[in-house]
Amino acid sequence: MALSLVGRTAIVTGAGSGINLAFASSLLSRKCNVVFADLALRPEAKEIVAKHSSFSRASAKAVFQKTDVRQWQNLVEMFKVAEQTFGGADIVCPGAGVYEPLWSNFWYPPGEPPSTDSSQHSRYAELDINLVHPIRTTQLAISHFLNPSDTSKRPPASPTNPRSIIHVSSIAGQTTPLVAPIYNATKHAINGFVRSLAPLDKELGIRVTAVAPGVIKTPLWTEAPEKIKLITEKDEWVTPEFVAEQMVNLLEREEIEVQAPSASTPGKSSTKMVKVEGGFILEVGRRLRQVEAFNDTGPSREGNTVTGLGIADREIFERLRQGGWGRGG
């Protein structure tokens, strides 16, 4: 069931920058309060939180909660902040993520610089951030929605009192570029995780959905020299604001318009209206497309291409051929 956002409260992890900042800002513009849960805020995020630091009839309120999503107790705390400040949360977006950073990267094994993953700690930070944190946050959200505290201003979730959890997947949940094996694995897992929770929508009123963005102009790309060099003039950026708009649509609407193969002209596409419900995954490039569980056609090209990936592939093979790879830990 769709949500009206006015007067609601959302928890958004990773809201300090990128897609999640754009989403948080879009929610605030619709008079939905937001808990910005992140390690830190970029200057533009600080400005937005400061602008919405107090309640008024004209706008919603934003609060910043310092959150390391790898620490489960930090995740618990952000729900407590939502409870204490707003009487609870209606929307949860465990959006914080990283894109195969050098400090937690399959091609730089634990114990080998620049990786900061320790071979003694049995953890990949990227997995903890991109997969474990969304799973644990979803558990906490479901519990929060079904078991409001005595001081909560909200009834338990139900089909007539809906709540929403929206994940940030990626087209890497369908594609498998060599440059980002761990990232690919996490996004494939998120897609399966979201689909497995589809029945919660009809039975409990908790809609779990995801967006699967293409190549988005955020600091994950623009501030990573090893990644930005892979983008050429042939590639098209998609803005975080456009992704945020689609995330809001997954909350507010019962149906959305997406691209679909033309029934009358092979190789061509048209548009159709599709129902938004639990388990729904929306690809967001220059066009919108529903990601199907079976017989999916794969990502469209516009806004989803990185034509310089061959550069990264050659660098990886050169590193592997030098000898000693993976022996440093």
Task: Give the span between the Cα atoms of 266 and 23, in whole angstroms.
Answer: 36
Query: Closest Cα to residue 34, out of 277, 276, 247, 194?
Result: 247
Nearest residue to 247 via CA among 10, 45, 6: 10
Report helix, strand or coil for 309: helix
Distance CA 293, CA 206 (A): 20
pLDDT in tens, 7-56: 999 999 999 999 999 999 999 999 999 999 999 999 999 999 999 987 76
Q: Is 172 helix (H, G, I), strand (E, B) or coil?
A: helix
CA dist 259 and 214 (Å) reads 15
State the average pLDDT over residues 79-95: 96
- Length of the chain, please? 329
pLDDT tens, 242-300? 999 999 999 999 999 998 766 555 556 788 999 999 999 999 998 899 999 998 888 87
As a whole number of angstroms, the distance between CA 165 and CA 284 comes to 18
Residue 314: Cβ within 10 Å count: 10
